Amino acid sequence: MSEETDALAAMTRILSPHCRVTAMSNGALISDWRRRTRFLGMTTTDVRKFVEGSPEERAELVKDLMRAGCATACRKAYSDAEVGLWLRGVHLLIRTVGFGRVLRLLSLVAPVCARADLPSTEEMARLKRALRSHSRRSWLVNDDCKAAAVTAFVLLRRCGLNAVLHIGVREHPFALHAWSSSAGVCIPDADPRGHGFTPVLSISCGGE
């Protein structure tokens, strides 16, 4: 039983974050919950190959899953230029339709994942540096916390990584602030200039 559990855990790590693995009496069922819902069955023999099989056998199984669209070769890493484009686009969208409507649109651009991994500290540090650089360098964005927080949330979620978007408030003097958190890192800082904000809204899993 423990070997089968280990095999299912290994499959979960390999599969696309949109896929869910369910143990069955004769193997496993892979459910792909993207817009075009799909189901893929695997026999007990194939599931056990993830634990007992040779590296070649496991590689062949992963190739089959990739051909079926259930596994990803590697997670997409956004370049510094792409981060800047997303930041400016999000800022313009907030200015055009309003912050509240942008929050309601998150379920469309930040997909709901059956599995979401935590990013590494290095990934978060790189994303935070890129957003801070573009935010301060662009006269259009001008260090807007809402645009930076939403951009970080969307990019992390689109990579299949876990993230939470927070909206906080401070009473004296009254102010609002937005930030996204993941792996213990906040983008932008949760307490700019040492001022603490109490979260009044937290959004995770693509806007739910």
User: What is the chain's pLDDT, residue by residue, as a tens digit (208 residues)?
Assistant: 566 677 777 777 777 777 888 888 888 888 877 656 778 888 888 888 877 778 788 788 888 888 887 776 655 678 889 999 999 999 999 999 999 999 988 887 876 666 667 788 888 999 999 998 888 776 666 778 999 999 999 999 888 788 999 999 998 888 899 999 998 899 999 888 777 899 999 998 544 4
Residues 6+ apart with CB under 8 A from 84: 130, 134, 138
Name which of 25, 26, 30, 24 is nearest 11 in CA terms: 30
Cα Dmax for the chain:
64
How far, in Å, are 122, 174, 183 from residue 119 at the CA level? 8, 33, 6
Angle at 101 between CA 78 and CA 203, to 5 degrees: 60
Which of 152, 85, 91 is closest to 123 using CA atoms?
152
3-state helix, strand, coil in the chain (%, to 5): 45, 25, 30
Q: Which residues of 155-182 are buried (b: 16+ CB within 10 A; e: fewer)?
A: bbbbbbbbbbbbbbeeeeeeeebbbbbb
**What stretch of H or E contains 83?**
helix 80-97
Q: What is the pLDDT of residue 75?
A: 59
Q: Encoding tokens for residue 84?
A: 């800047």
Residue-level pLDDT at 34: 66
Tally Cβ neighbours within 10 Å of residue 150. Answer: 28
Cis peptide before 119 (omega within 30 of 0): no
pLDDT of the residue at 168: 95
Cα dist from 76 to 49, 120, 160, 167, whole Å: 27, 14, 9, 27
Sorted by sequence, the CB contacts under 8 Å of residue 34 that are 6+ apart come out as 18, 111
What pTM did the predictor assign? 0.71
Q: How far apart are CA 24 and CA 41, in angstroms?
A: 9
Do the beta carbons of residue 169 and residue 175 sit within 8 Å?
yes
- How far apart, in Å, are the Cα atoms of 166 and each of 5, 7, 12, 75, 150? 35, 35, 28, 25, 9
